Amino acid sequence: MMQLPDYLYIDGEKIRQTDASEVVINPADESVLGHAPLASTVQTEAALEAARVAFDRGPWPRMSIKQRVGVMQKFQDYLRSKKAEIVQLIVAEAGSTLMQSDFMQYELPMKHVSHLLDDALQIRPEMIPVEITPAFDGSKVIGTSSVNYEPVGVVAAITPYNFPFFLNIGKVFHALLMGNTMVLKPSPLTPYQALILADAADAAGIPAGVLNIINGGIETGNLITSDKRVDMVSFTGSDKVGAAIAAQAAPTLKKTHMELGGKSAFIVRQDADLAGAVQAGLTGFITHCGQGCALTTRHLVHNAIRPQYVAALQQAIAQVKVGNPADASVMMGPLIRENARARVEQFVQAGLDSGAKLMAGGKRPAGLDKGFYFEPTFFDDVDNGSMLAQQEAFGPIAAVIGFDSDEEAIELANDSDFGLSGHIYSADAGTAYEMALQLRTGGVGINNGAGTMLSSAPFGGYKRSGYGREFGRHGLLDFCQIKSIAFQGR
């Protein structure tokens, strides 16, 4: 594994002198990975000022998109050269399994940023249709306007612990490609996957102050979300924290961009291929130990096949190997910390108290005394209004709910405070598509979707799952201001 960074990155300098540090542990065995530096108030202020000056006076926002793409290509090239070390860090710091760390946490975001580099080159001024207006002298004026996409300014980006590398580079590429400058604050549980980006910035030749990376807790977050030098906050995390950040940003009327939680529905119609549906359903709540905002943890299954689905899901869960994510044969690793495991246990108890039927899991696995492991768990006969069906556990637990018609399935799916993702399994793709149009959610997959997370498709949610989009043209434009420049001819 690469040497862990013992610095903050402020105004192009690696800052090793800090007043405090925080222990970072490996969630698989609770061993100490290192002591990550914490930014003081003075250092946070310095990062904000560096980003402000770099935007107001520096060359970065004034470069052409083509020039910035060239620099960010070097940024990606450096990360490519460090793949093996980065994957090992993801396994150790986030507790993601080896396969998921390689494919989902490293290769998928790298694919995304390759597309972002291409998509950015397509963003250029546009002309609106000509309007012909009579003038006072009897002639006619030809009026039109150019629509220009400009950087917002200083972006404060705050990322969570579940997919740190993925989310860190996603925000960096979106913001910087569009000419913004940035202060990036990762989760203090997984700081190293952000701090390592300093080396990539240096290798790419990013000007000083354009990218600043600081580590800290709630107080640091409060400072950067409320500071008037920040023009935009991009946050990925829980809906409750997102609401708090929106409130902190409101007095300065800065732009906010929220990718929040989910409680997404997985609809299994009566005609579905059962084996395929069960595999997709299982993946939908055990991936990264259930720590994913877009995972499908509400399984809405037609009552005509629900008994068979439940039985097959029990059999599939029995084959899931839980253990140290560094073992290539392990399918599910640990939760990030003990409090995350305790939260899942609360959901299990809530399911039992509500009368739902525990069909698998529900406890800590035997033989794993160190690490924050929990068995893959699901309940049948769940009330859609219950805590188990309505609140985000962020762990490997699913709720099976029966339905008798497509209309009922749609109603159950939409009966949620969240609206991030969703999935429909059916032999009738046309009907599934019609149903997908009625779901109040930012994305829907049909029968395993596109086979990947599409890089140029916008990602984001409805309702308490947030607002704004990431990836593709739509995601890049969310990090822009739109300016109209009108002119005329005679």
pLDDT for position 73: 98
Amino acid at 468: G
Q: What sign for the dihedral angle of Cα 93, 94, 98, 101?
A: negative
Which of these, 56, 70, 2, 94, lies nearest to 333 by C-alpha position? 94
45-67 per-residue burial string, b: 16 or more CB within 10 A, e: under 16: bbbbbbbbbbbeebebbeeebee
Instruction: State the catalytic residue, choosing from 259, 375, 392, 470.
Output: 259
381-412 per-residue burial string, b: 16 or more CB within 10 A, e: under 16: ebebebbbbbbbbbbbbbbbbbbeebeebbeb
C-beta of residue 352 within 8 angstroms of C-beta of residue 399: no
Look at strands 377-380 and 397-403 and give their pairing.
Answer: parallel
289 is catalytic: no
pLDDT for position 490: 59
Q: Which two tokens stand for residue 148?
A: 């220009």
What is the C-alpha to C-alpha distance for residues 39 and 223, in angstroms, rounded to an integer? 11
| CATH superfamily of domain region 264-454 | Aldehyde Dehydrogenase; Chain A, domain 2 (3.40.309.10)
**Other Cβ atoms closer than 10 A to 474:** 16
**Domain range 8-260+466-487, its CATH number among 3.90.660.10, 3.40.50.720, 2.60.40.2470, 3.40.605.10:** 3.40.605.10
**Rg of the chain's alpha carbons, rounded to an integer?**
24
Domain boundaries, given as residue ranges, for the chain: 8-260+466-487, 264-454
pLDDT for position 2: 75
What is the C-alpha to C-alpha distance for residues 378 and 484, in angstroms, rounded to an integer? 53
pLDDT for position 3: 87
Contacts of 296 (CB under 8 A, 6+ apart): 264, 265, 266, 281, 284, 285, 421, 422, 423
**Taking the mean position of all CA atoms in its chain, how far away is CA 292?**
8
Beta partners for 232?
Answer: 155, 255
Instruction: State the catalytic residue, choosing from 289, 293, 375, 470.
Output: 293
What is the C-alpha to C-alpha distance for residues 144 and 128, in angstroms, rounded to an integer? 6
Question: Tens digit of pLDDT per residue, the chain (490 long)?
Answer: 678 999 999 999 999 988 899 999 999 999 999 999 999 999 999 999 999 999 999 999 999 999 999 999 999 999 999 999 999 999 999 999 999 999 999 999 999 999 999 999 999 999 999 999 988 888 889 999 999 999 999 999 999 999 999 999 999 999 999 999 999 999 999 999 999 999 999 999 999 999 999 999 999 999 999 999 999 999 999 999 999 999 999 999 999 999 999 999 999 999 999 999 999 999 999 999 999 999 999 999 999 999 999 999 999 999 999 999 999 999 999 999 999 999 999 999 999 999 999 999 999 999 999 999 999 999 999 999 999 999 999 999 999 999 999 999 999 999 999 999 999 999 999 999 999 999 999 999 999 999 999 999 999 999 999 999 999 999 999 999 999 999 987 5
CA angle 217-219-223, nearest 5°?
Answer: 120
Fold match, 8-260+466-487 / 264-454: no
293 is catalytic: yes
Does this model's pTM top 0.85? My answer is yes
